A and B are shown apart, each in its own frame.
Chain A
Amino acid sequence: MRRRYGAADYAFETFNYVFLLLLGCLTLYPFLNLLAISLNDSIDSVRGGIYLWPRAFTLGNYRAIFQADNLVAATLVSLARTLLGTFLSVLFTTMLAYTISRRGFLFRKGFNLILILSMYVNGGLIPYYLLIKNLHLTNSFWVYIIPGLIGAFNVIIIRSYFEQLPEGLAESARIDGASDFAVLFRILVPLSAPVLATITLFVSVGHWNSWFDNYLFNSKQHLSTLQYELMKILLKSVQQVSTDAARSGKVDRAVANTLTPQSIRASMTILVTVPILFVYPFMQRYFIKGITVGALKE
């Protein structure tokens, strides 16, 4: 039975919406503030007071960042590693998850143990570095892809998802003569869109944001990722202050067009965040689809 809407309900609804709207603004504000600062003249921002709207609009901050020589090349490297790395990583992780989710698999316990151990124990930075070096993966694009191919945590998530799918699904496919590959790719994967979308999201965001492997293993310029190059730009602006401070008291009073670290930080945050933000709505579709795609009728 539906209750009639009374004044109290309207009041509550209104309050609710206003409250949620404010909460939404609160979470959005830091981002909008950065956007405003990134679109505001750098020197003008120094005196503060920029909230949601730029005071002296300019695209100069972005222009200056894109002036860096190899930013385009670095973007391509980042894009390549994100696309290729995410695809391969999700593929391999799924296959491993499938294998260890099969009850009949002989070394199931052993593999699980190894995976879980790798989440808690690791060799440490220097042994890891030596390992990669001895595998001749340093100064190579593949160091972005291969070491991160299997994420133990992701394997466990997918495995658990596979395990809670009805056993009958795989069984009936087998009776129809499906191989393991057919069972995985034609039966289980289409049913697992939600979990695969989640993992894809994790992995792609990780790839896109990663700069540490670049810092550790690749010193060749043409292998630089976007994040690494942006880090360099930020350091440039900060170092300008510190080296000048050490070496000489005051920077040339005549020099114009300088960018403050604050503006660079803001513009970079926007640059880095926005592309990955676009991934979310696409994934969202699969979340919903994955849930509504029917399962087994019993």
Chain B
Amino acid sequence: MKRHPLLAGAAVIAAAALALSGCSGGKDEPSAPGPSAGKSASPSASGAAAPSPDRSPIKVTINSIDPKFSPDNDVAQKLAELTGVTLDLQYVVGDLTQKLDLWLAGGDYPDVVVMHPKEVGKYIDAGAVIPLEGLIDQYGPNIKKAFGKYYNLLKAQDGHIYTLPAPYLAEETPADWEAPWAVQYDVLREAGYPQIKTLDQLFDVLKAYYEKHPTIDGKPTIPWSGVGGADHPDWILNNPAFQAAGKPDHSWFLIDDRNNVTLNILSEDQKRYDKFLNKLYLNGMLDKEFFTINYDEAEAKTAQGRTLAGSLPAWFLKYPEQSLREQGKPERQFANIELLFDENTPDHSNTITPINSNNNWQISKNAKDPARIIQYVDFLLTDEGQKLINWGIEGKHYDVVDGKRVVNAAWKAKKTEDPEYEFKSGPTGPFYWFTYGDGAKLSDGDYATPNTKDYWQSTYDDATKELLSKYGKKVFSEFMPPVERVPAWIWQLAEPTEGRAEFKRVQQVYKKESPKIVYSKTDEEFEANWNRYVEEIRKAGSAKVEAAYDRAWKAYIDQYNQTMGQ
């Protein structure tokens, strides 16, 4: 990559150019609401007959964040028929941030710009995206209804709404979510399907199995492994630590009741988890390459069926389990169950946020008819729209059986045969962003999306069904604690610039020192290593990192409370 220095230089210049364009945009700002208000007024005159909105065909350009989206599948065509709006997808392959910068500089962004909330600031500063609250008041009753009491969260700091995130109306854990701890089916079977609640209980079960089966298929058994420590040292130590403590996922941080932010890797939870790994190590049960393999190697290892358990989230197990099934070893698949340090700790690890803010929609000033876009989104957020974007077309993608929506069998078979088919025909596309979310229900009391327990159960193989039946569960999500709403996850906030270098150093120390703690030979050595690790992390500037994130989080919470209080 000899291009890199050049690009780095380009980035600096890009930043400068942005700053400039930001300034000039700032000057325009007072006038910006004017024309857009005018824009919103004029279509209202033409479409004044509110009961029959304008359905004339119109093309709206939008950047597609997913290269799989097809511009004209059945659902997209149906939507065009119902609303008149056809989305003209512009695929961005490669770095979206860079493309967004270029568009902003050249002024040739699409009508709808899809971007992460972290990017939107520069577009607002440059006056490239238009305020939407007036249009929503006029054309978006269902948008308001869908966001409900969280509607005010859409507002930017200046009080305008520039951004359309997705509502998140889930009331229960989505049926395909799974707890992060994995145990092999065969281990559970041999132990007689015990109720395992804590890491120590699991340890005993694993030990018994390991003593009986020191090898599997002629190769040494690995009682405990991870998702590849070389690339992601946080995934094998930090995340499991807060998960076992029953705390929500704030990546490197813990947040207490009074919104104080501290580093998880300095917490007692981390020490306790390190101690658990140490116990595995001393019993010869920890993967010898626990800290050194990367993601791909970890995947390969897990697919060999020799790994008995670990902190292996479901998304990691996707390909390995597929491989195990293909090898004819369904009993080596993994059950994802919930585990804690103590059985009696309250479990708050399963969380969702009030709104889904990630690939948000913004309407740029290039849009000729923003009102139509709002009407389009408004339609997506009706029950009819939700059925269409989540389930598809009745009779083709889903049927109604006994008053309940079920996935059409023929469609499901085709989808299974050819994974691409879902994109060519089914309810997928940029509009899918506005789903109510898995686990949410429509006003008819039935689920908003096909992601239901019944559906997932129907996809399981016999081994999985048998295992779940022993535990009296339908799907793995039932192992998880009830879902709770948190205002946000800290990793969603813009990264504070302050303390960034220190944070990097802290992570380096963590990566370097953690193995020494886990590989301690005695308790005294463990204590000594842990104390040295804590000291080194503090020396690397952990206090500064904590302070920076503490400020960022508290500022967010203040704003959140204020907005919600309005």
Contacts and interface: CB of A to CB of B under 8 A. Distances in A.
A143 to B, nearest CB: 14
A48 interface: yes
Candidate in B9, B93, B174, B325 with the most chain A CB atoms within 10 angstroms = B93
A127 interface: yes
Interface stretch (B29-37, B293-301, B551-559): B293-301
Nearest to B435: A247
A249 B416 contact: no
A47 B174 contact: no
| Main SS class of interface, B | helix
A69 to B, nearest CB: 9
A295 interface: no
Contacts of A123: 13
Interface string B350-377: 0000000010000000000000000000
B315 A254 contact: no
A126 interface: yes
Given A43-B323, A44-B326, A257 B108 contact: no
Interface in B101-130: 101-102, 105-106, 108
A223 B108 CA distance: 18
A260 B314 contact: no
A32 B13 CA distance: 42
A255 interface: yes
B513 interface: no
Contact of A122 (B6, B14, B477): B6
B459 interface: yes
B11 A43 contact: no
A130 B102 CA distance: 8
B86 to A, nearest CB: 15
Interface string B88-99: 001111100011
Given A130-B106, A239-B68, A253-B321, A247 B438 contact: yes
Given A48-B297, A124-B14, A245-B315, A253 B102 contact: no
Candidate in A123, A126, A249, A260 with the most chain B CB atoms within 10 angstroms = A249
B7 interface: yes
A250 B322 CA distance: 11
A240 B319 CA distance: 12
B461 interface: yes
Contact of A47 (B92, B177, B300): B300
A188 B108 CA distance: 47
A27 interface: no
Interface of B: 3, 6-7, 9-14, 17, 66-68, 90-94, 98-99, 101-102, 105-106, 108, 174, 176-178, 296-297, 299-301, 303-304, 313-315, 317-323, 325-327, 336, 358, 415-420, 438, 451, 459-461, 464, 476-477
Q: Which 4 A-B pairs have the closest CB atoms?
A: A48-B300, A124-B13, A125-B10, A47-B303
6 contacts: A48-B304, A125-B7, A126-B13, A126-B14, A249-B178, A253-B464
